[in-house]
């Protein structure tokens, strides 16, 4: 067993144009003041991070880490959620996702996908330069518009989508292997990798690639009514990253999992700050610890009710109070009578 590291905070929801959220040095000092020991960095946000420099300059990465260390903060992982989303985009979502891309490739799906692949590869190289071993991303989606089987899906449609998804990701995964970095797909509705079965379908097509790993976020499983504790038992060998985000699902006679096209606050299923929802974090931290997860517990604030700064400060204490410092002894060691093979054999009636 190993002790989970933390608390850490994903900065994507906090970066902004006003202090202390508009620069790397100030946001790391703020995170430390909130009680965090680490931060997960959105690689697309130029206010905090220069991906091009990080991919080409070890000196830049050393300075970047050093500035965080001065505030008492470690860089836990980089994220390419937005770029990974663009590796595979169904045409229905072209307009919605185009804003994630660099202006030069907007309106050109082929160029946009090529740009996205290059971005994720650069982030993996930057991860190596920063001394990191895990990287967060989305898989993107080609089959998601057909997730509900009506109208009836034509034979081979889903298989073709996953074949293509694997074809696009395999060169990235091979680059990840060269960099010594795990690609941690956040298993998330809206992505083709949205539950365990869809992850397995992808894993089969990339020949069980060792770098095709998981970012575990139980909030997305609550909203699917999926057993998120058993999920750890099944996939613990592939879980390399952990988002601490809460959720609740309160179906009524008027709406359920699909939410009736309502806003987040009016949905039956909605995200909450850690401790305010239905997720059994005692069970989660116990199972991850039991299975030897030694990555970071990273708070991701996405609450539909609570102010982000309150959620951040409360989240640091929440994680700290749930991390289990693993024991080095058994509870009944006080009664240990020592080892005596001859006595053992007599107890078994073998002498």
Judge residue 74's burial from the number of C-beta atoms within 10 Å of its C-beta, 0-12 exposed, 13-18 middle, 19 or more buried: middle
Cβ contacts of residue 109 below 8 Å, gap of 6+? 89, 91, 94
* DSSP, res 186: E
Check residue 337 and give its pLDDT.
65
The whole-number pLDDT of residue 288 equals 98
pTM (2 decimals)? 0.94
Task: Name 248's bridge partners.
Answer: 270
Does residue 107 surpass a pLDDT of 80?
yes
- Find out whether 55 and 43 touch, Cβ atoms under 8 Å: no
Which CATH superfamily groups domain 5-347?
A: Divalent-metal-dependent TIM barrel enzymes (3.20.20.150)
List, for residues 159-204, the tens digit of each pLDDT value.
Answer: 999 999 999 999 999 999 999 999 999 999 999 999 999 999 999 9
331 band by pLDDT with thresholds 50, 70 and 90: low
pLDDT in tens, 295-310: 999 999 999 999 999 9
Six token digits for residue 103? 């202006």
Q: Are strands 239-244 and 5-10 parallel, antiparallel or unpaired?
A: unpaired
Distance of alpha carbon 141 from its chain centroid, rounded? 17
pLDDT at position 224 over 80: yes
d(CA 287, CA 289): 5
- Taking a C-beta distance cutoff of 8 angstroms, is the pair 180, 133 a contact? yes
289 pLDDT more than 70: yes
Distance CA 97, CA 90 (A): 10
From 232, 244, 345, select the one nearest 301 (Cα to Cα).
244
The answer on pLDDT for 345 being more than 90 is no
Reported for 97-105, long-range contacts at CB under 8 A and 24+ positions apart, including other chains, are 100/44
pLDDT of residue 328: 77
Report the pLDDT value the prediction gives residue 333, as an integer from 0 to 100. 62
For 262-295, the three-class secondary structure string (H helix, E strand, C coil) is CCHHHCCEEEECCCCCCCCHHHHHHHHHHCCCCC
Length of the chain, in residues: 351
pLDDT tens digits for range 88-106: 999 999 999 999 999 999 9
């Amino acid at each position: 067993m190993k002790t989970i590291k933390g608390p850490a905070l994903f900065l994507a929801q906090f970066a902004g144009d006003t202090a202390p959220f508009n620069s790397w040095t100030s946001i790391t000092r703020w995170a430390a003041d909130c009680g965090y020991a680490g931060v997960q960095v959105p690689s697309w946000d130029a206010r905090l991070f220069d991906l091009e420099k990080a991919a080409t300059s070890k000196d830049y990465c050393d300075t970047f880490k050093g500035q965080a260390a001065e505030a008492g903060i470690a860089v836990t992982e980089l994220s390419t959620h937005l770029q990974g989303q663009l590796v595979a985009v169904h045409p229905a979502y072209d307009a919605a996702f185009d804003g994630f891309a660099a202006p030069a490739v907007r309106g050109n799906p082929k160029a946009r996908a090529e740009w996205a692949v290059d971005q994720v590869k650069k982030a993996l190289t930057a991860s190596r330069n920063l001394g990191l071993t895990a990287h967060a991303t989305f898989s993107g989606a080609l089959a998601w518009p057909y997730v509900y089987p009506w109208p009836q899906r034509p034979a081979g449609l889903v298989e073709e989508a996953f074949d293509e998804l694997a074809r696009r990701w395999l060169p990235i995964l091979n680059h990840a292997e060269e960099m010594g970095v795990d690609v941690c797909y956040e298993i998330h509705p809206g992505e083709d990798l949205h539950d365990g079965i869809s992850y397995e379908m992808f894993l089969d097509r990339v020949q069980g690639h060792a770098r095709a790993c998981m970012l575990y976020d139980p909030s997305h499983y609550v909203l699917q009514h999926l057993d998120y504790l058993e999920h750890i038992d099944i996939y613990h060998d592939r879980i390399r990253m952990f988002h601490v985000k809460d959720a609740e699902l309160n179906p009524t006679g008027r709406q359920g999992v699909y939410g009736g096209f309502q806003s987040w606050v009016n949905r039956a299923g909605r995200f909450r700050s850690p401790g305010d929802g239905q997720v059994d974090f005692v069970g989660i931290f116990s199972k991850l610890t039991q299975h030897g997860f030694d990555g970071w517990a990273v708070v991701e604030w996405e609450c539909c009710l609570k102010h982000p700064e309150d959620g951040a400060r409360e989240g640091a204490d929440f994680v700290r109070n749930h991390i289990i410092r693993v024991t080095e002894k058994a509870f009944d060691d006080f009664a240990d009578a020592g080892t005596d093979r001859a006595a053992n054999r007599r107890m078994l009636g073998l002498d």
